[in-house]
């Protein structure tokens, strides 16, 4: 397959999805180290950004200025969205992504995220405001529609392109599906037919085989991987190698796998405060053990331990197993 030139020349077209509470800076850094065309920050609401000027901590979390990183913002009003975009662009953001796909009730009840699909005219005012506020590329992430009666992604995508959006990522579900059922990759093809900018397929892409099928069904220009990369930070690089001929990642085995997990754990502890760090790390440790043959008692001990020093000892034992190979 040919390699698509994404905004700013980012290749290959295999992207890491933004996932709240998961794709923090330590995780994005690890995935990018294996290889990815683009990693996207966790979504941040425009009013949060504007409540105070981001300092070093906030800038680090967003990855402002980090090569190969897009900063995703959400909101419901044009002026604050434009101001937030201007703020992060002035601080060095390379790409800004607008969230119109989050299905969480706390987001949609605030008329943000995928709720904007119910009001396309209003959504376009937000898009135009952000695009006109900055000189950096602006992209859009959304879904097929609000529900099966409102599959308006192709119309919104076409209008977004006319407003200056440079890339569109479509999660192959409606908002009302949340993450249930299966992503409808074929429906993404209707969006691809409606626009000329790159279209990225998202949803249920958990392996190279799934990525290949998603591209075939959607006719998209690339894929975005989210939950499939949990516990397998090399997955994006593996998909890119198989589909686009990039260098093959060295998938860590045995002691090397344990060392990678240990390093990720340590980065999480350094990044967060002592109270939050262990809680954030626990879910990543669980996903790592999902790829291993870790004995149940050892898994239980690791996930219930609250002492970082003891966790490190347990990691050395629990992760000394061969991770499952990524499905071809």
Asked whether residue 226 is marked as a ligand-binding residue, the answer is yes
Structure tokens at 195: 């626009």
With vertex at residue 137, the alpha carbon angle to CA 132 and CA 141, rounded to the nearest 5 degrees, is 95
Alpha-helical runs (H) found in the chain: 25-34, 46-51, 56-62, 78-90, 105-108, 120-133, 153-163, 185-194, 208-218, 235-244, 254-271, 276-290, 296-304, 308-318
Asked whether residue 94 is marked as a ligand-binding residue, the answer is no
Cα 47 to its chain centre, rounded Å, is 21
Asked whether residue 260 is marked as a ligand-binding residue, the answer is no
Asked whether residue 183 is marked as a ligand-binding residue, the answer is no
Residue 136 to residue 282: CA distance in whole angstroms: 36
Largest CA distance in the chain: 56
CB-based contacts of 90, cutoff 8 Å, min separation 6? none
Asked whether residue 247 is marked as a ligand-binding residue, the answer is no
Asked whether residue 319 is marked as a ligand-binding residue, the answer is no
Q: Which of the residues are catalytic?
A: 102
Structure tokens at 37: 């065309």
**Contact yes or no for 220/188 (Cβ under 8 A):** yes
Residue 283 to residue 33: CA distance in whole angstroms: 21
Asked whether residue 230 is marked as a ligand-binding residue, the answer is no
On the question of a cis peptide bond just before residue 12, with omega within 30 degrees of 0, the verdict is yes
Residue 174 to residue 27: CA distance in whole angstroms: 27
Residue 97 to residue 109: CA distance in whole angstroms: 21
Asked whether residue 72 is marked as a ligand-binding residue, the answer is yes
Structure tokens at 26: 């330590």
Please state the residue numbers annotated as binding site.
18-20, 72, 141, 171, 226-227
Please state the residue numbers annotated as binding site for FMN.
18-20, 72, 141, 171, 226-227
């Amino acid at each position: 397959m040919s390699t698509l030139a994404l905004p700013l020349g980012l290749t290959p077209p295999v992207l890491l999805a933004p996932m709240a509470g998961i794709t923090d800076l330590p995780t994005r850094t690890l995935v990018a180290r294996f290889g990815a065309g683009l990693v996207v920050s966790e979504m941040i609401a425009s009013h949060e950004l504007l409540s105070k000027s981001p300092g070093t901590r906030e800038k680090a979390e967003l990855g402002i200025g980090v090569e190969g990183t897009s900063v995703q913002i959400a909101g419901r009003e044009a002026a604050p969205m434009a101001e937030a975009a201007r703020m992060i662009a002035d601080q060095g953001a390379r790409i800004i992504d607008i969230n119109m796909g989050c299905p969480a009730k706390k987001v949609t009840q605030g008329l943000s995220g995928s709720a904007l699909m119910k009001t396309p005219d209003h959504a376009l005012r937000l898009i135009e405001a952000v695009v006109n506020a900055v000189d950096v590329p602006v992209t859009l992430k959304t879904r097929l529609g609000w529900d099966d009666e409102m599959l308006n992604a192709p119309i919104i995508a076409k209008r977004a392109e006319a407003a200056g959006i440079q890339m569109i990522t479509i999660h192959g579900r409606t908002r009302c599906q949340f993450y249930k059922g299966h992503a409808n990759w074929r429906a993404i093809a209707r969006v691809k037919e409606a626009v000329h900018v790159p279209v990225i397929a998202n949803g249920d892409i958990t392996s190279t085989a799934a990525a290949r099928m998603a591209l075939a069904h959607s006719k998209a220009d690339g894929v975005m991987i989210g939950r499939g990369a949990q516990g397998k930070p090399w997955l994006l690089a593996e998909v890119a190698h198989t589909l686009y001929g990039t260098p093959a990642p060295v998938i860590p085995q045995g002691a090397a796998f344990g060392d990678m997990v240990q390093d990720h754990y340590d980065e999480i502890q350094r990044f967060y405060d002592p109270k939050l760090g262990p809680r954030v790390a626990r879910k990543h440790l669980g996903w790592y053990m999902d790829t291993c043959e870790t004995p149940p008692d050892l898994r239980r001990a690791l996930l219930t331990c609250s002492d970082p020093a003891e966790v490190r000892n347990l990691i050395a034992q629990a992760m000394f197993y061969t991770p499952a190979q990524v499905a071809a």
